[in-house]
Chains A and B, each alone.
Chain A
Amino acid sequence: MIRFELNGHIVETDDAPDTPLLWVVRDTFKLKGSKYGCGAGLCGACTMHLDGQAVRTCVLPVSAVAGKTITTIEGLGTPEAPHPLQAVWAEQGVPQCGYCQSGQIMSAAALLESNPAPSDEQVEQAMAGNICRCGCYPRIKQAILTAAAELAVEVTA
């Protein structure tokens, strides 16, 4: 049995320890927001937070998260109570097909946690691991910068 915290709940699984976290979350815990894109750590569609850090869960064995804290897109915010990034994403019409966006937002959220006021280049570097085949990059970048600015106003206000 491997036990960890998933979006604020303690969960347990008897999936094989080498099963990538992505599949445990999707198939065992039925949270479908995190996506499979490449299975090789190359696209970022499966990004979740492990103790607050963005990780590629398609190549992360579930055994590695025993006792740790995992947050998925579902744990970040909901349609009723979206995370500021999710709200800006919707207002600025960022997604096209939408498939990559959970991963994009999880990477962006981790970036803003560690660097609340990133430069253009820092955004590009932090997001370079997330592929968007639909090519939403200009909007993703803009949305991150907007959310950072809004959060900064909130902090000072």
Chain B
Amino acid sequence: MSTANLSRRGFLKTSGIVGGGLVVGFSLNGCSAGPVPLKSVASAWAPNAFVQITPDNVMRFYCPRDEMGQGVTTGLATLVAEDLDVSPERLLIELAGPHPDYNNPAFGAQGTGGSTSVKAHYTQLRQVGADVRQVLLQAAAQDLGVPIDSLDTDDGHIVHGDDRLPYGRFVATAAGLEIGGGAALKPPSAFKHIGREFPRLDALAKSTGTAQFGIDVDVPGMEHAVVVRCPVAGGTVKRFESEAARAMPGVTAVVQISSGVAVVAQKYWQAKQAAGKLEVEWTSPQLADVSSADMRAEYALALEDAGDTAHSEGDLEAGFTSAQTVIEQDYWAPYLSHSPMEPMNAVVHVREGEADVWSGTQGIGIAQGLVARYAGLDVENVRAHATYLGGGFGRRATLTHIIEATEVSVATGKPIHLLWSREDDIRHGVFRPASLVRIRTGVDDEGRLTAWQARRVGGNITPYTLKAALPGVLPSLGDGTVDWLVGVAHGAFDGWVVDSSGVEGLHEDLDVANVAVEHVTRENGLPLTFWRSVGHSYTAFAKETALDELAVQAGIDPIELRLRNTGGKPRLQGVIREAGARMQQMQPAPGRSLGFAAHSSFDTDVAEVAEVSVEGGRIRVHKVLCVVDCGIAVNPDVVRAQMEGAIMFGLTAALHGEHTLENGAVVQSNFHDYPILRMNEAPEVEVVIIESAEEPTGVGEPGLPPIAPAVANAVYAATGQRLRSLPLRLA
């Protein structure tokens, strides 16, 4: 739904008040999508899918995007609140259920990711707020019998002379009025909340154990399921022996499902114990032949292929001929799991003709569609209830656990709480693809890049994400069609077109006349997906380390080199300049060195400086300076938190993160061998937000890409060792 579309909507005439019972909302996009799943609140007025106001002035905001920690509930509430003229702190936040009105304007579907939310909803939700305010003013004018221009608003109240009357007083009248739409938006100079710093709205609930995550859902009669899956992705059950498991206390069922064998018990711990007694024999999939050591060697060989062209400009060879200094190096990044702190889980209850699902997902509509598909129901008979996500990072766009819970509920007829263990999460998830990138580049004696060639070897995430999403997005599509489409995608990305998520960030920041970006696909069946900052998580490491190497070799200041070759991106240059100037002022303690990197991703520009020491072969990051330009910072405190968080997430990958395969099985299993950065390793972080009047851009991911190269460049400054493999390990 575009903004234009929203303000022109002529079909939305009046919106009724509903006393208790059924709440009927009206679809903004006019299609027959059915009622908007709003809370049933007595006498509440719901002029659209987002705002619901009661006569006693309780105002609810239905947040269309999923809260996985990125602060989206606070950010989007601020947008609607600004033009509705109410403090966001006054709004009760509800997590929206599935409905097309809640689609992400960036995707045309109900999904959260790609650092899109604030950017995509910026004008839309402000317009929603402005239009609702306008109708409330009209209603007040009518009720009070005064001209509308004698009225104003302030923090959820109509102001008339000295009187402050709560919005709620006018909802009965407002419900009978036409919503014209297209009300004027506030000029930025009148902003009261956008740009204001206040603590995120969910902080108290999340500090008192009262915020509800998917794992916390508990419905009457619920039983618990634990699934045993094949150690190698793609393996299926050949046969299994369940007698011992069935004899364990509390066990009520053992069922074979698509991903393995599920043990169901009255309590989680009983199911978990009993699952350990199952004996399962698996088929051996193609991935069983893959081990990490061979894989890296194979990728290195593949780098010698020309690959498919993703982008090409100018004359590369002429560019190299005119270069003064040329370097060529390869940069490695391993498989990684997201490992959000809350492992995958869902509660699903399938009954005759209907079902409920509760889960924290990055696409509640996909959850609804998957339950419908696997329970054989129509989508409108599946109620999907969103919860907070205990971390997402891309992981919760793949909802295999919802399929599993649905299959078990169908088989048992009971409400099923299905929980993955940490070991399941690390071994059976969907991964950030491993990647080997070769950069060959040359610079002239004025510090201008004359040629830039980047070639990446690795898997493509798009076919896997299609396979994960399609069955839920289009539940009526047959399995055969889904497999066929996924097969087409796999084929297309190997030899025809390049999956842009594999090469994103390899050249876009650079203003070079002669460029080639190439891609060589290598797949083995390990499922892949988005992982916080996606391709940028490894392309920035390659690009920014290579630039540092080139600067050193050519004897150019690394910041100057970047400034001279990013002419097409003034905002990126702005953060490079600011961080560069601050870097000059930084006075690292003896034994510490500084490293610099900058990268643009998801339309946001970030430069980072890492202060690092190397002690006894161990890399320690003491301090990180982060300069970000994300347009208007809707809530600067949340922007800072996202930069801090992305830096820590990126440091885990830079210093520790690695999944390896042995005969196709993931070797790591829990936090002892897949360590996550801890507080005693966490640097101090200073975030500088560039003042801007431009519309906001995303902040969930862009803080991550620069951190690994900033640290690697600092390690080089400290030791003279150039580290080109993640995680960073000294020789």
Q: Tell me the A residues contacting B by CB distance below 8 Å.
A: 15-16, 19-20, 23, 26-28, 30-40, 42-43, 45, 72-74, 77-79, 82, 85-86, 89-102, 105, 123-125, 127-141
User: A23-B267, A42-B672, A132-B341 given as contacts; is B215 within 8 A of A36 (CB)?
Assistant: yes
CB neighbours of A89 from chain B (8 A): 203, 207
| Partner among A34, A79, A92, A99 whose Cβ is within 8 Å of the Cβ of B205 | A79
**Residues of B with C-beta under 8 A to A102:** 209
Q: Which of A19, A78, A135 contacts B647 (CB 8 A)?
A: A135
List residues 599-649 of chain B with CB under 8 A from any CB of chain A.
637-638, 641, 644-649
Which residue of the partner chain, among A36, A98, A129, contacts B211 with CB atoms under 8 Å? A98
Interface pair B269/A20, CB less than 8 Å apart: yes
Q: Which of A37, A39, A40, A86 contacts B341 (CB 8 A)?
A: A37
**Which B residues lie within 8 Å of A133 (CB)?**
339-341, 391, 393, 649, 676
Is the pair B207, A105 in contact by a Cβ cutoff of 8 Å? yes
Contacts of A20 in B (CB 8 A): 269
Instruction: Name the distance in Å between B558's Cβ and chain A's nearest Cβ.
Output: 26
Answer whether A36 and B202 are a contact pair too, CB < 8 Å, given A42-B670, A94-B207, A98-B69: no
* Contact call B204/A32, Cβ cutoff below 8 A: no
Give Cα A127–Cα B211 distance, bound, in whole angstroms.
22
* Residues of chain B lying within 8 A (CB to CB) of residue A131: 341, 671, 676, 678
B208 touches A96 (CB 8 A): no
Instruction: Give Cα A37 to B649, complex, Å.
Output: 17
Q: Does B45 contact A (CB under 8 A)?
A: no
- B207 in contact with A137 (CB, 8 Å): no
User: Is A82 touching B204 in the complex (CB atoms < 8 A)?
Assistant: yes
Partner of B269, one of A19, A73, A132: A19
Query: Which residues of chain B have C-beta atoms less than 8 A from A90's C-beta?
Result: 199, 203-204, 207
By a CB distance below 8 angstroms, the chain A residues around B677 are: 135, 137
Asked if A16 contacts B641 (CB within 8 A), the reply is: no
CB-based contact B342/A35 at 8 Å: yes
Partner among A33, A36, A37, A124 whose Cβ is within 8 Å of the Cβ of B209: A33
Residue of A nearest to B643 (CB): A135
1/0 contact string of B551-564 vs chain A (CB within 8 Å): 00000000000000
B340 close to A99 (CB less than 8 A): yes
Contacts of B649 in A (CB 8 A): 133-135
Residues of B within 8 Å of A99, CB to CB, are 213, 340-342, 390-391
B644 touches A136 (CB 8 A): yes
* Cβ contact within 8 Å between B218 and A97: no
Partner of B670, one of A40, A72, A100: A40
List chain A residues, Cβ under 8 A from B341: 35, 37, 43, 45, 97, 99-100, 131-134
B277 within 8 A of A: no
A82 touches B388 (CB 8 A): no
Contact with B268, one of A23, A38, A72, A100 (Cβ below 8 angstroms): A23
Chain A nearest Cβ from B716, distance in angstroms: 25
B679:A77 contact, CB within 8 angstroms:
no
Q: Does B508 contact A (CB under 8 A)?
A: no
Instruction: Determine the residue in chain B with the shortest Cβ distance to A28.
Output: B267
- Contact status of A137 and B210, CB under 8 A, knowing A79-B204, A97-B341, A98-B69: no
Interface check B483, CB cutoff 8 A: no
The 8 closest A-B pairs by CB, nearest first: A33-B209, A135-B648, A98-B206, A99-B390, A97-B69, A96-B69, A73-B209, A93-B199
Further pairs besides A23-B268, A130-B678: 13, Cβ < 8 Å: A35-B215, A35-B342, A91-B199, A91-B203, A96-B641, A97-B68, A97-B392, A128-B679, A128-B680, A131-B678, A137-B682, A138-B682, A138-B684
In the complex, the chain A residue whose C-beta lies closest to that of B417 is A27
In the complex, which residues of chain B have a beta carbon less than 8 angstroms from the beta carbon of A39? 421-422, 670
Which A residues lie within 8 Å of B651 (CB)?
135
